[in-house]
Amino acid sequence: MDFEETDPQTYVNECSNGIFSLLKKEYDTPRNRALAATARLKQMPFLIEQGKGNLSKPVRLYAQLAIDSARSSRQPFQRQFDDAGEDLSPSEKTI
């Protein structure tokens, strides 16, 4: 199968995995990891829009799974940002 054309989960997973990997891996201080994750999060709408353009034959089941996955990732993201971004100013927390 051509996942880029049929599976919206491809794009949702790229977004969520990219953010979680920056927050969870201890490659830098929590503050710097939160800043990197925030910068990456700002790029996600562009990736999602590109994905919408690529999805020429989306499979309904995959689309529903992608929607469910995106909706359920909000709380884990919030917890990770809260933990990593304690030192961020309000303007740095703005996405």
Over residues 40-82, the pLDDT tens digits come to 989 999 999 999 999 999 999 999 999 999 898 888 777 777 7
CA distance 92 to 69: 26
Q: Does position 1 have pLDDT exceeding 70, yes or no?
A: no
Contact 59, 6 (CB under 8 A): yes
Across the chain, mean pLDDT equals: 88
Phi, psi dihedrals of residue 82, rounded to the nearest 5°: -60, -45
Handedness of CA 81, 33, 73, 90 (dihedral sign): positive
The pTM (predicted TM-score) of the whole model is 0.78
Q: Where are the domains of the chain?
A: 3-93
Tokens of 73: 């990732």
